[in-house]
Structure 1
């Protein structure tokens, strides 16, 4: 039995909100306190939360979620070009159009389950990627990508008498420019809202039905339950989350390219979810943060950085050490991520959240009073609750 009381959910949400808003402070010791990276943490956290609703709760593994990320980006940039530089319409339309596209893809893909569903989503994503480079060039601008221009109409801004700057305008929130940390905090608020909605979905009867589908869909069908509408709803909600993440990418950098729809982007969100812990609340966000940290921080390491770190060692020891570690940083950062992922999959199938739960259990068993079986059960419930 899971301990999912409203009080515990409120504590979880409050702690999560404080941690997100304080990210510039506690990420500073790790060298990750600059706005561009913090924005990626928030945006890909949203992407992973949405994917977890489909994969972690329902058990449907999609290899095509990057298509919805791309649709959200393209829609947001078109909203900037045609309507206004205010970010709210861009985000709203990005979510709506991604949801519509997800409904179309889900209607066809959910006719199959298992690996056949995964292959279908991958096929549709690749079709979308290729269309963005060829047939849909008038909408996507092909290889160049969709960009802002000084000649864009921006009808709402014109009607409201918003002054047009000499150069390219920046996204704003009712006139307040979203650059640097203000842009991060806008993304952070979106992440907090997305987390709250996912928490409510998970704890609702709808979320219980999704977990039942993952547990044994055939048994539900035998009892007369039509599972397809629930799976379809989960797929659309997940696509809308991806659309929100895509539109926020356009907010932080008003440019949309087809590379955001590549299969590698879809595979990345799968890695994020599995690495952190599929089916948990915090796991996918943790996985997204780790992968983006490796991608942006470890990839910047070089031999000079390593030599400065191990400068206290004698040369006969530091030189071979740097030579070996140099293979796992810089351009080889993916080797480190791959090794970490293998260790997680082999020893912690439940992801890093399972590791945290085991650590809590081990700590409680080593307490002077010996702990209790109720404490161990409580930590297991905490893992399922995502705490």
Structure 2
């Protein structure tokens, strides 16, 4: 594997520092509590994996929630049958979701464009309905799959004495509650980002970008693109399975609602909002949507009255009446407006805005600083 370039290394180190320091810099925004930080990590992994398929190859899947749900079910079954340790559950979930993605991808990738998207959506909805009906002995239907005191846990019982109380996932015997759970998930997000970064800059990643640019032309030049798209689909599904398993670690319950089409649509919004095809963009999109979902949805009129308390009585009542439509239960309206503005003015997502700002600073630094000094004009070649 090639050595990382200086820019890639700086990006990775910067991303790592930002992730590990999130409990500090998110504190002023009211989002530094462990449960929300864990969800930032989990859905960041989900979005990074989805971007490997959509951002690099251009294949838009509406069924990635199926792999997310399968990963959750696989992790909980690992907790029930093998051990409460999280590492075997992670491995089991990644393998099962990868095999599931291989089957669905092999069929769905026979078509492209909107037909591929509809096929993935159909498979996801079938998986969702099967989890509610036919596969009830495996998924426990509407109730969802959860841990009980009577679970066999053969590996744990063979090696250790059963711990008293309700079973909870652990890492080498240590509880994964609170900030320990956050840093556990953060480690997987950093690893997932590193792998995605290496994939993007590898020859395999270049092939995926070529497929997105013009798959027909690549086929005419003699390249068989199907193995590459299938590999991207499987890798993306394994990322989704890992995210689903981590959600089961932080909340040891697996339900069919994690496989709904709305979950698939959510990861599409995350990727487009942050910037499809970029490394950091999908993670930012995931964090932004989860912030709106958990923080904006908790704002009520009492909080708004305290926020506008410094204004005259009539004015603050008017502002509270208007702003209350965009928070609480109306947080979807705020998110929708943000998404519309991003798509209209920044089609490349938030990362396009970052690039534009960086370009402005570059131009200001490269412009002449001395007044009266004429800018040299290029001379025609003689």
Map residues 1-387 of structure 1 onto 2, 5 A cutoff: 6-160=5-159, 162-367=160-365, 369-370=367-368
**Pairwise CA RMSD:** 1.2
Report the Cα distance in structure 2 between the residues aligned to 1:323 and 1:364, rounded to whole angstroms. Answer: 43
Contact in 2 for aligned 1:57/1:210 (Cα 8 Å): yes
Gaps of 5+ in 2: 370-382
Report the Cα distance in structure 1 between the residues aligned to 2:126 and 2:79, rounded to whole angstroms. Answer: 26
Deviation at 1:254, TM superposition (A): 0.4
Deviation at 1:364, TM superposition (A): 3.2
Distance 1:370 1:95, change over 3 A: farther
Distance 1:311 1:205, change over 3 A: same
User: Aligned with 1:167: secondary structure?
Assistant: coil
User: Aligned with 2:142: secondary structure?
Assistant: helix
Report the Cα distance in structure 2 between the residues aligned to 1:359 and 1:204, rounded to whole angstroms. Answer: 28
**Residues 30-76 of structure 1: CA distance to partner in whole angstroms, max 9, x if unpaired?**
10000000000000000000000000000000000000000000000
Deviation at 1:165, TM superposition (A): 2.5
Contact in 2 for aligned 1:75/1:90 (Cα 8 Å): yes
Report the Cα distance in structure 2 between the residues aligned to 1:215 and 1:127, rounded to whole angstroms. Answer: 32
Deviation at 1:169, TM superposition (A): 1.5
Deviation at 1:368, TM superposition (A): 8.3
Report the Cα distance in structure 1 between the residues aligned to 2:311 and 2:345, rounded to whole angstroms. Answer: 33
Deviation at 1:360, TM superposition (A): 1.5
User: Aligned with 2:100: secondary structure?
Assistant: helix
Deviation at 1:366, TM superposition (A): 3.6
Q: How many residues align?
A: 367
Distance 1:198 1:310, change over 3 A: same
Residue 385 of structure 1 is matched in structure 2 by none
Deviation at 1:8, TM superposition (A): 1.1
Deviation at 1:367, TM superposition (A): 4.4
Bigger mean CA deviation after superposition, 212-221 or 354-363? 354-363
**Residues 244-290 of structure 1: CA distance to partner in whole angstroms, max 9, x if unpaired?**
00000000010000000000000000000000000000000000000
Report the Cα distance in structure 2 between the residues aligned to 1:359 and 1:15, rounded to whole angstroms. Answer: 18
Report the Cα distance in structure 1 between the residues aligned to 2:170 and 2:4, rounded to whole angstroms. Answer: 39
Higher-Rg structure is: 2
Report the Cα distance in structure 2 between the residues aligned to 1:14 and 1:364, rounded to whole angstroms. Answer: 22
Contact in 2 for aligned 1:364/1:370 (Cα 8 Å): no
**Residues 311-361 of structure 1: CA distance to partner in whole angstroms, max 9, x if unpaired?**
100111110111011000000000000000000111100000000111122
User: Aligned with 2:62: secondary structure?
Assistant: coil
User: Aligned with 1:169: secondary structure?
Assistant: coil
Report the Cα distance in structure 2 between the residues aligned to 1:236 and 1:94, rounded to whole angstroms. Answer: 13
User: Aligned with 1:142: secondary structure?
Assistant: coil
Report the Cα distance in structure 2 between the residues aligned to 1:199 and 1:173, rounded to whole angstroms. Answer: 27
Deviation at 1:5, TM superposition (A): 6.2
Report the Cα distance in structure 1 between the residues aligned to 2:221 and 2:47, rounded to whole angstroms. Answer: 32
Report the Cα distance in structure 1 between the residues aligned to 2:305 and 2:354, rounded to whole angstroms. Answer: 33
Report the Cα distance in structure 2 between the residues aligned to 1:244 and 1:221, rounded to whole angstroms. Answer: 33
User: Aligned with 2:148: secondary structure?
Assistant: coil
Contact in 2 for aligned 1:133/1:143 (Cα 8 Å): yes
TM-score by length of 1: 0.93
Report the Cα distance in structure 2 between the residues aligned to 1:235 and 1:370, rounded to whole angstroms. Answer: 49
Report the Cα distance in structure 2 between the residues aligned to 1:170 and 1:119, rounded to whole angstroms. Answer: 38
Bigger mean CA deviation after superposition, 356-365 or 47-56? 356-365
Deviation at 1:6, TM superposition (A): 1.2
